[in-house]
Amino acid sequence: MPGRKSASDKPVMDKSEFLHGRPISLRVLGDYLDLSPATISLVLNNAPGVRSIPQETRDRVLAAAQKFDYRPSFYARSLRRKQSFSIGVLVPELSDGYSVLVMDGIEDVLMEEGYFYLAASHRRKADLIEEYPRLLMDRSVEGFIAIDTALQHSLPIPVVAVAGHKKIEGVTNILLDHRRAAELALRHLHQLGHRHIAFMRGQTFSSDSGDRWNSFMAVARELGIEVPPELVVQLQLNLSSPELGYPVAQHLLAQKRPFTALVSFNDIAAIGAIRGFRDHNLRVPEDVSVVGFDDIQSAAFHNPSLTTIRQPLRNMGITAARILLERLRGQKDYPEHVAIVPELIIRESTMPPHPKRTARHG
């Protein structure tokens, strides 16, 4: 009959059209490629035995998966291997420069190894430090990395603590050598000629405060440096901005006790103290030298650039992540603590004291 088309005239449907609107699964991809779902699974998961599959077939599978935006099921893989491939990270604050640099190293290792991480910021609240591990374990994390977090007891899964000072079963502590850090900072100032040095003590809630202070006092005694109470300031505020150190300068100058240098608890507080000195018409380092601690990213770009004790924070994160993954993979022998070596970075904020000038109010 005129105008009527036979079945043979019907256009052939592209196989990709056949998949349109269908949920993409291993079985659907198998229909498309004329391959078994098992073969596709081996290729996409790069599983043992994949080398027995011809390279041409592997390329076809990967191309089809990319074309239809198919990804292997994370949950299926987790169930099959009885792993979640996720880590819990406990931090005081996500915006804190110290934590950010440590997490940068952690991320590098976990991304390379195919792990995710869930970060919880506890703001140093004891109830959250206690509760967050339980919440994260409910989400099947396999282990924890705790950054500057005061853990009080062991957990049922492996833990690595950066700046962990308390000996707890099942916890590997990544610790800076604070004694060496104190020697580097104080010997630098002592060799420059400073004898009247002010000190900033860290907040009591900071994991490093106690060990760092004890180390500085021990080295000060060895060098014969007197540490009068008027030249010691105890940090109280829970801040991660230069505002932390600004009132330190005001307090020290109000004591009317002369000093030529300040050792800060960290770089952020040092930057705030420098601003405070300047607002009292004191120059850094001409009138007062300042030494920071940590070597955060902004320390080298501050004016003046900051002399500081470098903690290799990114490497500490890398070390923590690698040790945790080794433990998760069954390594039975693991260190209880790992000592990290500090480094003195000399920049523009320190110089020999002026023979006729010391920092004092007015």
Q: Is the pLDDT of residue 8 over 90?
A: no
Q: Calculate the alpha carbon distances from 291 to 42, 187, 308, 360 in Å.
A: 56, 12, 5, 18
The pLDDT of residue 20 is: 55
Structure tokens of 60? 């076809």
CA–CA distance, 235 with 243 (Å, rounded to integer)? 11
The pLDDT of residue 95 is: 79
SS3 for 118? strand
Q: Is the pLDDT of residue 75 over 90?
A: no
Region of residue 49 (phi > 0: left; psi between -120 and 50: alpha; otherwise: beta): left
Q: Please report where in the chains the tokens 């052939």 appear, as a residue.
A: 12
CA R_g for the chain: 29
User: In sequence order, which residues have a C-beta less than 8 Å from that of residue 214 and are 6 or more positions away?
Assistant: 178
Residues 220-256 pLDDT 10s? 999 999 999 999 999 988 888 999 999 999 999 999 9
Residues 152-211 pLDDT 10s? 999 999 999 999 999 999 999 999 999 999 999 999 999 999 999 999 999 998 889 999
pLDDT (average), residues 141-159: 95
CA–CA distance, 80 with 85 (Å, rounded to integer)? 12
pLDDT (average), residues 119-140: 94
- Rounded to the nearest 10°, the torsion over CA 318, 204, 243, 197 is -100
Residues 198-219 pLDDT 10s? 999 999 988 899 999 999 999 9
Domains with residue ranges and CATH for the chain: 14-72 (1.10.260), 82-176+314-339 (3.40.50.2300), 178-311 (3.40.50.2300)
Per the DSSP assignment, residues forming a β-bridge with 197 are 261
Q: Is the pLDDT of residue 261 over 60?
A: yes
The pLDDT of residue 6 is: 44
Which range has the worst mean pLDDT, 15-24, 88-97, 288-297? 15-24
- β-pair type (144-147, 159-162): parallel
